[in-house]
Amino acid sequence: MAPAERVAVPRRSWHTGLVPLTLTHPGWDPVAVRLGPLQIHWYALMYLLGFVIAYVLLRRRLHHPPFDRISKPRPWVGDDVENLLIASIVGVMVGGRLGYCLFYQPGHYLTYPLEMFFLWEGGMSFHGGAIGVTLALLMFALRAKRPFLEVTDLLVPAVPLGLAAGRIGNFINGELWGRPTAVPWGMIFPMADSTPRHPSQLYQFALEGLLLFVLLWAYARRERALGEVSAFFLVGYGLFRFIAEFFREPDDFLGLLSFNLSMGQWLSIPMVMAGLLLWAVSRRRGVHAPSGVSDRAIEEQDADGDAPEAGGEPEVENDSATSEESNGGVDGELVAEPTPTEEAASGSKEAESDMEERSGG
């Protein structure tokens, strides 16, 4: 009798007890719209969606404190949001592209510098974009004569949803995949190999995008010290990006660097440190509104300053009243005191009068 054949049973995941799923990236076409020679990529549409979301959120921010009470140099209006968004777009595009070329492939792009302008070939760096936006916002603040941190506090709560849209674009393109994994939701990316990998784009979408937005938006709804909201963003993004990089495949032309950290992690460390320093400085200054909000407070402080302090010098009017009372003033009239000459003449007259009365007696 022939022995029974062994039936292969799928191995179960050791930490879930579930049969691992074999997920494969759909392999979507990165081009969303074709109009003759014109091609519009999904990634570009995600960038556009991110800027539209940021515009809507910034307009809404203007109706919440402290920005609804700013009066100097003038109140925030919709045109300011549009100009701010244009400056941010220029900063993101220029800084993001230069950051990718110089941080990740400096040798290649220094050899072929014209390829820096080949934006359609892809290659953007968030950290480079952050530097570009910082410079653009600094120029905006100088031209608008507004505090730089007031501008950044207005902008940063809208940034995470833009980042979330960008990560969806990465996922549609099937790029920036994760490290090999055995988790049930591991996904095969055809552009990489046949190994299941972490869908790290979705991790970053959830952490740097949705979760950071919820936390930052809730944090910014209360009155905060100038720069405190910006500091929260720096720390929050740096931490979430540092965590997500453990699941993301390092760039093949860089690999892991010192201490087995990726370039993204090394660039996130100074962000966290700068955010903590800014947060400490802002908290030390105390909770106060940005420029132009404190006009009423200044007037009240000036009014309080006119009142005498307890135990201080009495007012001049009180001194005058006291002097009048001591000089025998009646009904507010001042009575002059006699001079020494008048007192002597009066004394001699009284003496003569006494002598006449005695002689007559």
- Sequence ranges of the binding site: 167
Q: Is the CA virtual torsion 84, 85, 87, 88 positive or negative? A: positive
Crossing angle (nearest 10°) for helices 263-285 and 126-144: 30
Phi and psi dihedrals of 330, rounded to 5? -120, 130
Q: Cα(40)–Cα(17) distance, rounded to whole angstroms? A: 44
CB half-sphere exposure, 287, CA atoms < 13 A: 6
Q: Cα(71)–Cα(3) distance, rounded to whole angstroms? A: 89
Q: Cα(54)–Cα(358) distance, rounded to whole angstroms? A: 112
Q: Specify whether the CB–CB gap between 178 and 193 falls below 8 A.
A: no
Q: Cα(32)–Cα(68) distance, rounded to whole angstroms? A: 39
